Chain A
Amino acid sequence: MLTISDRKEKTIVLKEIMQSRLFWPIFVLLLLLAFNLINDPSFFAIEIKQGRLFGSVIDILNRAAPIALLALGMTLVIATGGIDLSVGAVIAISGAVCAYLIQNEIVTSTPLIILAGIGVALIAGLWNGILVSILGIQPIIATLILMVAGRGIAQLITGGQILTFDHVGFEFIGGGTLFGIPFSIVLVVLTYGVTFLVLRKTALGLFIASIGANPTASYFAGIREPQIKILVYMFSGLCAGLAGMILTSDIQGADANNAGLWSELDAILAVVVGGTALTGGRYYIGPTLIGVLILQTMTTTILTNGLPVQFTHIVKAAVVILVMLIMSPQFRGELNRLRTNKTKEII
């Protein structure tokens, strides 16, 4: 038997869940997955092929990996009140550097190649960080510089060609598996896990949010804004470098013209879908990841169901707008008000 107080408690719990940051993004993601379940249950079939998990759902996770990494770095950059437009170009640079080293047999050991890829990405992030926090350039302008120039640098490295290579060790990043799970997925889980722990167990997470929320107060509280900003931009660079290596290793080639092209926009979109405000301050890593998954699930769904090419962008835009509206408490409030008004009229 349910007593009235029990029922009240239940509704309170339900309300709390519904007000949680994660609820609406997950709700939309489940909606998309439900569409696929009704449409074609084989969408969820997972089998093991050549010692590797195999299926549309695995595809979604695998293909979402690069953007998931970008979005993680982007979330923190946006939290400090900044933005990083250069991540797409950093993808191209790190991929080009790795491919160049492998193809010309300058470096053959896998850890060194990966270190080189990470190294250039960190330098790129350092550059952004210095421009933003030491020279005081607006983040959108500061990172725009590398967004434009970076692709040029990558093209310079590859000579405008697609550099292809064969290297068993390096191909593992984008094509290998760990216990049957594609390694890129493992990499994403690890990066998110470690980042989450560091942000939660140290004061760093709080510092990042406070810089974005109120720079003046943070300054008087003794938070070293320049150092933290440089660190955050370097982290964003690192994430982009990892994404670049996944993409390059996946196709065994560095395509400086196209690798990561416009992916900074996907990353920003995922952050916004995840509920982090572009004005900085509070940030939400988990919801960002759900945002990435929503975007990729949409792409894979569209591809699997054969929607005509002309409509793909419109459908994506429509879903994104819908997600944003559902997530807005004001909009939901309006809807509720309309509904209650109507019922009142009927009564």
Chain B
Amino acid sequence: MKFRNLATSLALSATLLSAQAFAELTIGFSQIGAESAWRSAETESIKSEAEKRGYTLKFSDAQQKQENQIKAIRSFIAQGVDGIILAPVVETGWDRVLKEAKAADIPVVLVDRGIKVKDNDLYLSKIASDFVFEGKLAGAWLAQETNGYANIVELQGGPGAAPAIDRKAGFGQMVEQFPGMEITASQTGEWTRTKGKEVMEAFLKAQGEEIDAVYAHNDDMALGAIQAIKEFGLMPGKDILVVSIDGVKAAFQAMVDGELNATVDCNPLLGPLAFDALEMAFNGKDVDKWIVQKDKINVQQDAAEMIDSRMF
């Protein structure tokens, strides 16, 4: 009896000790905000990964403001954190604060977006999806599905947005390979369902049943387009194929319903990769400047199995 008590107390103190040893490492995480389920999933991924690996995480929500992020980074530096994870709200204006972090010898990992700084050594690494590759993946899937023959209409994201430009470029590069495939119309649906529906209505009026497929830069626009196709009297997913990007839960529901054919993941679960990069830096190893989140395409047949495990 005594021995068992001793053993448990020993074990207890051992776990406490080890926890303390890990807890010495503190990571600061400056997040943009909580404007979408996608971002909430990203936050959750980083929080849970910190807990799993035994780091203390200092979380700061910037509410979409760069000055709040800069303030947060300064306070992280003042508190002497061991590493910083930053989801930058804009591309420019980071030089000075990152110099301060570098002077304090704190590695900074960027998640989901890049930044423009004069000296790229100011940050350790960027962990993000490759939007061009996402577009290519959608294009490749469509080429295979249509045997390389399709009239495609494209719903672009907001004009000038980096994901919109890259997703258009990647898809375009893939379609160019097939003489039988053509993008017959391309307009911005401004990332929203309402606009996606309105634009698709106009496309259908102009081209009608000649449209074989819709490529949307995000799921919301695709869901809007699906409604427009239904109201036009055609069957989305059969008469007109629909492929989009993001892989949100609503898109999986649309796939289960047979109305969306495929959606490319733009995975927000960047926690593991971010902490991998930081740990490599702690151990003195070289880290790639851009660690690409390997996105994959989800198709209708697998949707029913996967839908419950989708977190965003």
Chain A minimum-CB-distance residue to B157: A309
Please tell me if A342 contacts chain B, counting CB pairs below 8 Å.
no
Please tell me if B21 contacts chain A, counting CB pairs below 8 Å.
no
B194/A258 in contact, CB under 8 A: yes
Q: Which residues of B contact A300 (CB under 8 A)?
A: 202
A55/B191 in contact, CB under 8 A: no
Cβ-neighbour of A55 out of B37, B203, B205, B224 (below 8 A): B205
Q: Which residues of B contact A175 (CB under 8 A)?
A: 231
Chain A minimum-CB-distance residue to B197: A251
Chain B minimum-CB-distance residue to A252: B227
Chain A minimum-CB-distance residue to B220: A162
| CA–CA, A205 and B186, complex, Å | 45
Q: How large is the interface on B (under 10, 10 to 19, 20 to 34, 35 or more residues)?
A: 20 to 34
A247/B250 in contact, CB under 8 A: no
Given A257-B35, A306-B185: A56 in contact with B205 (beta carbons within 8 A):
yes
B189 CB to nearest A CB, Å:
10
Interface residues of B in 135-194 (CB under 8 A from A): 156, 159, 185-188, 190-194
Q: Which residues of B contact A11 (CB under 8 A)?
A: none
A1 CB to nearest B CB, Å:
49
What number of A residues sit within 8 Å (CB to CB) of B?
34
B205/A309 in contact, CB under 8 A: no
Chain B minimum-CB-distance residue to A313: B159
B193/A253 in contact, CB under 8 A: yes
B37/A160 in contact, CB under 8 A: yes
Given A251-B193, A255-B192, A309-B156: A162 in contact with B250 (beta carbons within 8 A):
yes
A308 CB to nearest B CB, Å:
8
B34/A160 in contact, CB under 8 A: yes
Please tell me if B199 contacts chain A, counting CB pairs below 8 Å.
yes
Cβ-neighbour of B193 out of A255, A299, A306, A312 (below 8 A): A255
| CA–CA, A40 and B206, complex, Å | 9
A222 CB to nearest B CB, Å:
45
For the complex of A and B, list the 8 residue pairs with the smallest distance between their C-beta atoms, beginning with the closest. Answer: A303-B202, A258-B192, A251-B193, A304-B206, A309-B188, A304-B202, A56-B205, A306-B185
- Mark A residues whose CB is within 8 Å of B: 40, 43, 49-50, 55-56, 59, 63, 155, 160-162, 164, 175, 247, 250-253, 255, 257-259, 299-300, 302-306, 309-310, 312-313
7 contacts between A and B (CB under 8 A): A162-B193, A255-B220, A257-B35, A300-B202, A303-B187, A303-B199, A304-B202
